[in-house]
Amino acid sequence: MGRKLLLEKAHVEGIRTYDVYRREGGYRSVEKALKTMSPDAIVEEVKKSGLRGRGGAGFPAGMKWSFIAKPEGVPRHLVCNADESEPGTFKDRYLMEFIPHLLIEGLIVSSFALGSNDTYIYIRGEYAWIVDILEQAITEAKNNGWLGKNILGSGFDCNIHVQRGAGAYICGEETALIESLEGKRGNPRIKPPFPAIKGLWGRPTVVNNVETLAAVVPIINEGGEEYAKIGVGKSTGTKLISACGNINKPGVYEIDMTISVEEFIYSDEYCGGIANGKRLKACIPGGSSVPILPANLLLKTAKGETRYMNYESLSDGGFATGSMMGSGGFIVFDEDQCVVKNTYTLARFYRHESCGQCSPCREGTGWMEKILWNIETGKGKSSDIDLLWDIQRRIEGNTICPLGDAAAWPVAAAIRHFRDEFEWHVANPQESQLRNFGLAHYADDIHVPATV
């Protein structure tokens, strides 16, 4: 059984309240950090831990913190990205809902490290009830002297503000988030300048995911080196995975990143296998934006090695035969699921969520959705598949923010690995409306050329 650092206490009765959380050892990291450590030492500790951003891109958190500009007399800000709107991802929600004080604790330590006196939590608008939970936790923390002026006599002041979004996925992109937080339309900014130099109100800003900031607590408590011992390679510590789809036990799991994908899906400790005794067809391992993989490439890499649940292994093979850890939204498809339909659903999502600033993303996402709808409803042509490929190719890399890429990748991966299924839809317009393509050969062993 793997170690749990974040959710270990999540089910202790009453852990949402300050008293229980404190009794269980909460806020120790704040005491340690503010009383015995300098801000630079905390950054150093986070660097040593190897913690990578949990919001999707996996950028080393300590490194990001060390980039923040420190001009004289200019306030700096820490912003917690709780916008969590990626289809398939619901881990931050779980953490904030069940153990809100862990996030607040992480935020205080991180704010101290970065010198942020006003720290913001930007939370997805639909998480309305969690706003109340967080504000309750903030009030309790303040009443007990963990927030406000001169915390623990250290001279450090800090307040945390919760701001609700208005229902836009794009506001999870860090610069769109900053615009929205400033009260503007949530359009991503053109980078550079990066937020570390010019972020919220033109001030140096760090934006981190909820899970990233919560992970700072065990890192400070146990030390960066101890934290780095969990996991493997550059995938240190534990990771929250929100598993959903056709599995027996959907939910949020904290894993240390040494287990194999196969174990994660089939063991009773985690997903408990495919529901209703069906067979595994495909999986999107890291939230809707990352490439979908057929069963055979999900469980084994193209080299025939076991694939593990960590950053390196999931992306082994690049986009040709691999995928990404992304935000940890693990979506499992059984043999009865239709990849064309799923791709259409995702395309519809990205068309709806594009901010519309850049022409390739604004127009291309809508175009792809329409073509996919045709294929899905038996009106597709075989030239449509190549056209889709061409459209996604011309969106990817040519836009302001990564939403363009995120819209292109699922389509590209679906065509790359499931072209047969698309072609079958086009060739059998009537039959495809009555039955699914099924598992086909997607779980067959991959022939691995023997190496000399």
Q: How far is CA 276 from the centre of its chain?
A: 28
367 binds, among other proteins, ligand FMN, ligand SF4, none (CB under 5 to 8 A by kind): other proteins
Q: Does 125 bind ligand FMN (CB under 6 A)?
A: no
Rule CB under 6 A: choose which of 45, 105, 173, 335 binds ligand FMN.
Answer: 173
- Alpha-carbon span 30 to 221, nearest angstrom: 9
- The residue whose two tokens read 């992480």 is 106
433 binds, among ligand SF4, other proteins, ligand FMN, none (CB under 5 to 8 A by kind): none
83 binds, among other proteins, ligand FMN, ligand SF4, none (CB under 5 to 8 A by kind): ligand FMN
Q: What is the largest CA-CA distance in the chain?
A: 73
Rule CB under 6 A: choose which of 243, 292, 314, 403 binds ligand FMN.
Answer: 403
> Whose Cβ is closer to ligand SF4: residue 376's or residue 396's?
396
322 binds, among ligand FMN, ligand SF4, other proteins, none (CB under 5 to 8 A by kind): none
Which of the ranges 81-89, 191-199, 276-284, 375-383 carries the binding residues for ligand FMN, by CB under 6 A? 81-89
Instruction: From 166, 121, 184, select the one nearest 357 (Cα to Cα).
Output: 184
Q: Does 402 bind ligand FMN (CB under 6 A)?
A: yes
Q: Does 131 bind other proteins (CB under 8 A)?
A: no
- Alpha-carbon span 134 to 106, nearest angstrom: 13
Q: Does 167 bind other proteins (CB under 8 A)?
A: no
* Alpha-helical regions (H) of 189-309: 210-214, 216-222, 224-229, 261-266, 295-299
> Whose Cβ is closer to ligand SF4: residue 246's or residue 399's?
399
81 binds, among ligand FMN, ligand SF4, other proteins, none (CB under 5 to 8 A by kind): ligand FMN
> Whose Cβ is closer to ligand FMN: residue 138's or residue 196's?
196
Which of the ranges 111-119, 189-197, 202-210, 317-325 carries the binding residues for ligand FMN, by CB under 6 A? 202-210
From residue 356, give the alpha-carbon distance in Å to each of 5, 31, 185, 370, 403: 40, 46, 12, 17, 11
> Whose Cβ is closer to ligand SF4: residue 188's or residue 195's?
188
Tokens for 131, please give them.
Answer: 């706003």
Q: Does 232 bind ligand FMN (CB under 6 A)?
A: no
> What residues between 28 and 67 interact with other proteins by CB under 8 A?
none
Who contacts 272 (Cβ-Cβ below 8 Å, separation ≥6)? 247, 248, 249, 266
Residues that bind ligand SF4 (CB under 6 A): 170, 188, 354-358, 361-362, 399-401, 403-404
- Alpha-carbon span 376 to 422, nearest angstrom: 9
Site string for other proteins, 382-411 (x = CB under 8 A): -----x------x--xxxx-----------
> Whose Cβ is closer to other proteins: residue 278's or residue 370's?
370
- The residue whose two tokens read 């992304």 is 326
SS percent in the chain: helix, strand, coil, step 5: 45, 15, 40
Q: Does 370 bind other proteins (CB under 8 A)?
A: yes
Q: Does 385 bind ligand FMN (CB under 6 A)?
A: no
From residue 98, give the alpha-carbon distance in Å to each of 14, 91, 128: 9, 11, 15
Q: Does 238 bind ligand FMN (CB under 6 A)?
A: no
> Whose Cβ is closer to other proteins: residue 83's or residue 353's?
353
Q: Does 54 bind ligand FMN (CB under 6 A)?
A: yes
For residues 120 and 77, is the Cβ–Cβ distance under 8 A?
yes
Rule CB under 6 A: choose which of 10, 12, 57, 259 binds ligand FMN.
Answer: 57
205 burial class (0-12, 13-18, 19+ CB within 10 angstroms)?
Answer: buried
What DSSP assignment string belongs to 307-366? PBSSHHHHTTTHHHH----TT-EEEEEETT--HHHHHHHHHHHHHHH--S-SHHHHHHHH
Residues of this chain that interact with ligand FMN (CB under 6 A) are: 53-57, 59, 61, 81, 83-86, 169-170, 172-174, 207-209, 212, 401-403, 406
